[in-house]
Structure 1
Amino acid sequence: MHVNNTDIPVKDPRTVMLEHEKIPKLLLHYAIPAVIGMLVNGLYNVVDRIFIGQGAGEYAIAGLTITFPILIFMQAFGMLIGSGASARVSIYLGKHNRDGADAILGNAIILTLITQLLCIVPVMIWMKPLLIAFGASERTLPYAVEYLTIVVPGNILTTLSFGYNAIMRASGYPKKAMWTMIIGALTNIILDALFIFGFGWGIRGAAWATFIAMLVSAVWVMHHFFSKNSLVRFRRSAMKLSWKESLEILSIGISPFLMQLLSSVVNVVINRSFVGYASTSQDADIAIAAYGILNSFAMIGVMFVLGISQGMQPIVGYNYGARLYGRVLQTFKTCLSVNIAVSGLTALSALIFPYALTRLFTTSETLTNYTVTAIRVGMCAFVFVGVQISSTQFFQSMGMPMKAMVLSLSRQVIFLLPLLIILPVIIGGLIGVWLALPLSDALSGALAITLVVGHVRRMKRMTHDTAELETETEKVID
C-alpha cells in the first residue's frame, strides 16, 4: 500500500533541532556557515576588483563598475527563484511536508532554466548599446565588453550555485552550503592570480576565473540535490512546472527580485549622474571607479549582515510554520542585535581607515584621494543597513512578501532614487549624489523599525502562549 509522505511527520534530527534547540546556539549553528559563505561569496567580486585594479588600472575598475547594472539584473532572476524556493522549503519542512518541499525544488529548476535563457540571449545581442547607455566611455567600454562576453553566458552557473545553495542551507545543511562558497571562492582567487598576473590576461582573466569558479560550485550543489542522502532532493515526478508551486516560489522571491532589479536601475542612475555632473568625461570615469571601490567595501558589510539574516531564515521559517511564535521573536531579536553591531563597526571602519581600504584596489593617487572622501560620506549611516536587511529577511522568512518587498524597495528605490534626483540639484554637483547614499540608509532603517514593531504587536494576539510571547515582545520592542 502506498503511503503519502505528507501524512507522516518528519522526525529528522535537523527539524527536531529547529524546534527545540536554544535560540542563541541554533542561530550560531546556522549563521556561522552562512556568514562564511556570504563573505566568501563577496570575495568573488571584491577579489576580481582588487586584482583588476592592481593589474589593469583605474579605468579597468571603472569598466567593471559599468557592468554592475547588467550583472545585478541577471542575478535578480536567480534570487527570484532561489530566495523564494528556500523560504518555501523551510516552511514546508516546518509543517512536516517533505513532498511539498520536493515539489518546490523540482519547479525551481525548471523556472531557473527558463528565466536564464530569457536573460542571456538579449544581453549578448545588445551588450554594447546597453553599456554606453549606462555610462561607459571610450576608455572603459573595451574593459566592460571583454568581461561580460565571458561572464554573461556563464550566469546560468551563477544562478545554480547561489540560488540552490540557499535551498541547501534552508533544508538543514548550513555547513555544506558554506563549503559551496569556499570551494568556488578559492578557485576564483587562485585562477585570478594565475590568469591576470601569470598569463597577463587582464580583465579577461578575471572573467574566466569567475566562470570556472561558478562551474565548480554549481556541480557541487547539483550533486547534493541528486543525492539520496539529502532531506530535500530532485525527484523525477516533481521536476515539472506547476502553477501552484511556481506561484508559491515567485510570491516570496518577488521581494529580493525587485530589490535586485531596481538596484540595477539605481546603479544606472548613479553612473549617469556621475557622467552628467562631472566636469569632464575623465572625471566621471574616476567617480565611477570610486563608486566601485566603495561598493566593494560596503559589499563585505552587507554580506556579513545577509549571512546572519540567512542563518535566521530556516529557524524563523520552521518555527513560524510550527506556530511557535515565541521562538520566532527571540530569533529575530538575537539576529537584529548582532546585525546592528556588525553594520555599526563597518561604518566606523569606513570613517577611520578609508585610505588603507582604497589602496587595496588602486595605486593611483588621483583615484585614492577622491575615493577616501567618497567612502567617508557614503558609508557614514551604514548602521541602518543592518536593521533594514534583518527586517526584510524576517518578513520574507514568514512568507509575508508584501512587507518584505516594501522594505527591500525602501533603501534602493523608495528613498534612494528620489534623493539621487533631488540632492544634486539642491546641493549642487557630485556631492549630492554621494549624500543620497547615507540618507537613504537612515530612512530605510527607520521604516523597518516601524513595520517590525507593528508586526510584533500583532503576533502577540496570534497565540495563547502569552507568558512566553509577552517577554520576547518587550525585548524586541525595547
Structure 2
Amino acid sequence: MEKEIRSDNPLGYVPENKLLRQFAIPSIIAMLVSSLYNIVDQFFIGNAVGELGNAATNIAFPLNTSCVAIALLMGIGGASTFNLSMGRGDSKGAGKYIGNSATVMLVLGVVLSAVTLLFLAPLLRFFGSPEEVLPYAMEYTRITALGFPFLILSTGGGHLVRADGSPKMTMAINIVGAVVNTVLDAIFVFGFGWGMTGAAAATVIGQVIASIMVIVYLSHYKTVPLHRDAFLPKAEVVLSVVSLGAAPCFNQLAMMLVQIVLNRTLKYYGGLSIYGESIPIACSGIIAKVSMIVMAFVIGISQGLQPIVSFNYGAKTYGRVKKSYFMAIRISAVICVISFVLFQAFPRQIISIFGNGSELYFDFGVNFFRKYLFFICLCFMQPISANFFTAIGKPKKGIFMSLTRQIIFLLPLLLILPRFMGIDGVMYAGPIADLVATIVCTILVVLEMRRPEFAKN
C-alpha cells in the first residue's frame, strides 16, 4: 500500500528540493503579499497622517493578529488533517476536514467582528493606546473590523487551496487582494485624502475579493469533491483540525499577547523617558511590520514544507521527511542572516520609508531596530520546527515550540527587564528571547531525529 501511495501522489516520489521549491515559493510570495496589507497601510498612513497614524495601526495590530490566529488554526489544521488522511489512503473522509475548516473560519470571523465593534474603545485602550492616538485607532479599526470574516477566510482558505496541490492559486488569491488594497490605498489616501478611513476601506475591499476567490475554488476542489455535508460542522472533525492547527494558532495568539504587553510597556516607560508615549509605539509598529517581511519567507517555507512532511510521514517514508526538514532549515538560515546584516546597517533608511518624524523619533527607531532584532539571524528555527511537529501529527510539541519565544521567554522579560533598565529593557528582551528559544527548539529537534524512524534514514 505504501508503495502504491508513493507512486500515485507526486508528494511521495518527486525529489524533495523540487517539491519544496514548488510549494514554498508560492507560499513565500503569498505570505509576502499578505504582509503587504499591513505594510502598505503603514506606508500610506505614515506619509499622509504621520507619527500618530503609525502608532494607531500598531495599536490595532493585535486584532489583525487574532484573525491570523483563527485562520492558521483552521487553515493549517484543515490542510494537515487533509494531507495526513490522503497520505494514509483515506480519500473518502478527507474532504470533511476542508469543508468544516472553511465554515468555522467564517463563523469565528463574524463573532470576532461583532465583539470588536461592540467594545471598540475599551479594547484599544487595553491594547495600550495613548489618548492622542485613540481617535485615529478607532477610525481605522471601526472599518477594518467589518473585514475580519474575509481576512480569516482569505488567509486560512489559502492553506486549504494549497493542500489541494494548488500553491499557485493560493499565491494568486493573496496577490489579487494585496494589489487591490495597494491601488485603492493610493486612490483613497493620497487621491481623495481620506486618511485612516481610506486605508481601512482599501484593506477590507481587497480582503473581500480574495475571499470570493477562495469560495469559488472550494466549490471546484480537485482532489476530492466537497459536497454540502462536508461544510456542516461536526465536533470530532473540528477537534481533529484544531489539534493540528493549535501550534501556529497559539504562536499567533502569543504574538498578540506580547504585542499588547509591548505596547503597554512602551507607553508606560516611554512616558517616563524623553521619547514620550507615542514615539516608541509608532516605531515599534514599523519594526514589527518590517520583520514580518523576513518571517514571511520563513513561514512561507514552513508552510511549503507542511504537505511534503505530512504526506510522507503518513506514508512512512521518513527519509524524505528528514531531508525536506533540513533543506528548509538551511534555506531559512541564509535568509535570516542576510536580514540581520540589512537591519544592522540600514535601520534609519528603512524607517524613513514610512514617513518623516522628529529626530527623537528616528533616534529611538534606530536604537530599537538594532537591539530588538539583533538575533533575527536565529528566528528561522522556532517556526519551522513548530510547524514540522504539527505536520507529523505531534501537536503538543508544536504548541510548546510555538510558545517558547513569545510566552515562555519574551513575555516575562518584557515585564522584568524594564523595571531595572527602563525602556532599554524592552529592547534587550527581544534578542534574549530569540536566543534561548532557538536553543530549546534545537534540543527538541535533535531528540526527535534520534528516534528510530529518523535515525535509520
Q: Does the pair score TM above 0.5?
A: yes
Verify the 8 A CA contact 2:99 2:230 in the aligned structure 1.
Answer: yes
Match of 1:417 in 2: 411
Match of 2:124 in 1: 131
**Is residue 2:258 matched to residue 1:266?**
yes
SS at match of 1:121: helix
**Is residue 2:453 matched to residue 1:462?**
yes
Q: CA RMSD in A?
A: 1.9
**Is residue 2:6 matched to residue 1:17?**
no
Tell me how far apart the structure 2 counterparts of residues 232 and 48 of structure 1 sit (CA, whole Å): 38
Structure 1 unaligned residues grouped into runs of 5+? 1-6, 470-478
Tell me how far apart the structure 1 counterparts of residues 141 and 224 of structure 2 sit (CA, whole Å): 34
| Equivalent position to 1:436, from 429, 433, 444 | 429
Q: Which amino acid aligns with 1:396?
A: T
Within a 5 Å distance, the mapping from 1:324-473 to structure 2 comes to 324-366=317-359, 367-426=361-420, 428-458=421-451, 461-462=452-453, 466=456, 469=457
Q: Summarize the Cα distance change of 1:232–1:360 in structure 2 as closer, same or farther, 3 Å threshold.
A: farther
Deviation at 1:11, TM superposition (A): 7.3
Match of 2:189 in 1: 196
Match of 1:171 in 2: 164
Deviation at 1:322, TM superposition (A): 0.4
**Is residue 2:229 matched to residue 1:237?**
yes
Tell me how far apart the structure 1 counterparts of residues 157 and 102 of structure 2 sit (CA, whole Å): 9
Verify the 8 A CA contact 1:312 1:335 in the aligned structure 2.
Answer: yes
SS at match of 2:402: helix
Verify the 8 A CA contact 1:42 1:299 in the aligned structure 2.
Answer: yes
Tell me how far apart the structure 1 counterparts of residues 170 and 126 of structure 2 sit (CA, whole Å): 37
SS at match of 2:453: coil
Tell me how far apart the structure 1 counterparts of residues 135 and 6 of structure 2 sit (CA, whole Å): 53
Could you tell me the percent identity over the aligned residues?
Answer: 35
Deviation at 1:16, TM superposition (A): 2.3
Verify the 8 A CA contact 1:171 1:314 in the aligned structure 2.
Answer: no
Tell me how far apart the structure 2 counterparts of residues 188 and 203 of structure 1 sit (CA, whole Å): 13
SS at match of 1:364: coil
- Decide which moves more: 53-62 or 110-119: 110-119
| Equivalent position to 1:53, from 25, 32, 46 | 46
- Decide which moves more: 66-75 or 169-178: 66-75
Q: Which amino acid aligns with 1:425?
A: R
Deviation at 1:333, TM superposition (A): 0.6
Q: Which amino acid aligns with 1:452?
A: V
Q: Which amino acid aligns with 2:261?
A: V
**Is residue 2:82 matched to residue 1:89?**
yes
Verify the 8 A CA contact 2:6 2:12 in the aligned structure 1.
Answer: no
Q: Which amino acid aligns with 2:310?
A: G
Match of 2:248 in 1: 256
Q: Summarize the Cα distance change of 1:183–1:12 in structure 2 as closer, same or farther, 3 Å threshold.
A: farther
Tell me how far apart the structure 1 counterparts of residues 396 and 82 of structure 2 sit (CA, whole Å): 19
Within a 5 Å distance, the mapping from 1:143-222 to structure 2 comes to 143-222=136-215
Match of 2:267 in 1: 275
Verify the 8 A CA contact 2:80 2:244 in the aligned structure 1.
Answer: yes
Verify the 8 A CA contact 1:384 1:444 in the aligned structure 2.
Answer: no
Verify the 8 A CA contact 1:166 1:177 in the aligned structure 2.
Answer: yes
**Is residue 2:101 matched to residue 1:108?**
yes
TM-score by length of 1: 0.92
Verify the 8 A CA contact 1:158 1:218 in the aligned structure 2.
Answer: yes
SS at match of 1:130: helix
TM-score by length of 2: 0.96
Tell me how far apart the structure 2 counterparts of residues 254 and 25 of structure 1 sit (CA, whole Å): 29
Verify the 8 A CA contact 2:312 2:320 in the aligned structure 1.
Answer: yes
Verify the 8 A CA contact 2:130 2:277 in the aligned structure 1.
Answer: no
Match of 1:3 in 2: none
Deviation at 1:68, TM superposition (A): 1.5
Deviation at 1:280, TM superposition (A): 5.4
Q: Which amino acid aligns with 1:277?
A: Y
Deviation at 1:133, TM superposition (A): 2.1
**Is residue 2:273 matched to residue 1:285?**
no
Deviation at 1:10, TM superposition (A): 9.2
Q: Which amino acid aligns with 1:292?
A: G
Verify the 8 A CA contact 1:10 1:98 in the aligned structure 2.
Answer: no
SS at match of 1:152: helix
Q: Which amino acid aligns with 1:370?
A: F
Q: Which amino acid aligns with 1:27?
A: L
The count of residues paired between Structure 1 and Structure 2 equals 455
Verify the 8 A CA contact 1:224 1:230 in the aligned structure 2.
Answer: no
Tell me how far apart the structure 1 counterparts of residues 77 and 185 of structure 2 sit (CA, whole Å): 32
The CA deviation string for residues 108-132 of structure 1, in whole angstroms up to 9 with x for no partner, is 1332233223322221111101111
Q: Which amino acid aligns with 2:256?
A: S
Deviation at 1:233, TM superposition (A): 4.5
Tell me how far apart the structure 2 counterparts of residues 60 and 318 of structure 1 sit (CA, whole Å): 45
The CA deviation string for residues 438-458 of structure 1, in whole angstroms up to 9 with x for no partner, is 111111111110110000111
